Structure 1
Amino acid sequence: MPPPYGGWTAERGRPRGGLIDRAEHDFAFHVRPSPSGPVVACSGELDLHEVHVLARALDDALAAAPLTLVVHLGALDFIDSSGLNALLHARIRAERQGTALHLADPSPPMTRLLHLTCTDRVLTIDPIPGTRSAR
């Protein structure tokens, strides 16, 4: 079994190495390590049918109690309320264990959802990858 954030890729919840061979709109993620903690890069469409994949990835990343967990959302084409709920639950868990959760480079659909739901007020958002906001 790969380490919780040891640079593996998954599609539809199945860990696999190498490139992602997927339909254009399926949700996928790739986890890579960084000095302060894992970076979970998301792509495709995140909805009720795929949210368990992200929730598991975030749980696995948080299990190692990193200083920071970054969720990169730049390649996310769509997210529904279940995906937002998974991010909010991860934020609560991260806060309880002292991990800083950052959303990096949110895509336009993600930015719109965060603004419409006012969750941009409770989630730390880094508009440019590698930057840190003071929230």
Structure 2
Amino acid sequence: MAEPDFVITLIGSKLAVPGNEFIYRGPAAECEKCKLKNICLNLDKNKKYRIVGLRNGMELDCLVHDTGVKAVEVVACPIIAVMESRKAFNGSRMTYEAPDCDKECVNFALCHPDGIASGEKYTICEVFSEEIGPCGKGLTLKKVELRP
């Protein structure tokens, strides 16, 4: 599958390293009065991103990051999750709905991965063959890679 197009955004200078992944949690209160907010706040809230490149070495002042910010190129990260095996088909589109399960379940983190949002559409890019541990609800689960 081809690498998706990147988005240019600003991130704290200490974090501006190719390969770093992060979840964009939305703006801080200090961002409202910043003249660069349209460049910084151009990502989707609660989605996971990976830095794939740096734009230039110039650091810009920031009210949130003590060492300023740098321009970076980011792409949305694929998300590894589990889902019912009867619904897991390579290339299919699905709307993610978080399952209603017990937080003590061994699969809870995979059923509720960081960077995924209920109601959002994803493409199943890969269905892994490995067996997933027991589901507290008795479901047969498959590990999948999802892309927005």
Q: TM-score, normalised by structure 2?
A: 0.22
Larger Rg: 2
Q: TM-score, normalised by structure 1?
A: 0.24
Q: Which has the higher helix share?
A: 1
